Amino acid sequence: MAWIWLWMTPAGEEARMKLSTKGRYAMVAMADLALQAEGEMTSLADIAKRRQDLSLPYLEQLFVRLRREG
């Protein structure tokens, strides 16, 4: 099942984006990182197991791709 990501544009218009499973996992992991307290460090292993219940190798693959593509 694909998720639909909804947000409001600066002009006040509704925008939508359909996310694949990989895209959803990547977005949730990045949101998890963004919600960390300032200066607080966390590892991908922490996000994978304790927070998102994902396999660490799968999350590492996603972050390698995110890092490579900027």
14 found inside a domain? no
Give me the pLDDT at residue 64, please: 92
DSSP line for 8-70: E-TTS-EEEEEE-HHHHHHHHHHHHHHTSPTT----HHIIIIIIS---HHHHHHHHHHHHHH-
This prediction's pTM = 0.64
9 found inside a domain? no
Q: How many domains does the chain have?
A: 1
6 found inside a domain? no
11 found inside a domain? no
Domain that holds residue 62: 20-69
Task: List, for residues 2-43, the tens digit of each pLDDT value.
Answer: 666 677 888 888 888 888 888 888 888 888 888 888 888 888
pLDDT band at 67 (very low <50, low <70, confident <90, very high): confident
Q: DSSP secondary-structure letter at 35?
A: T
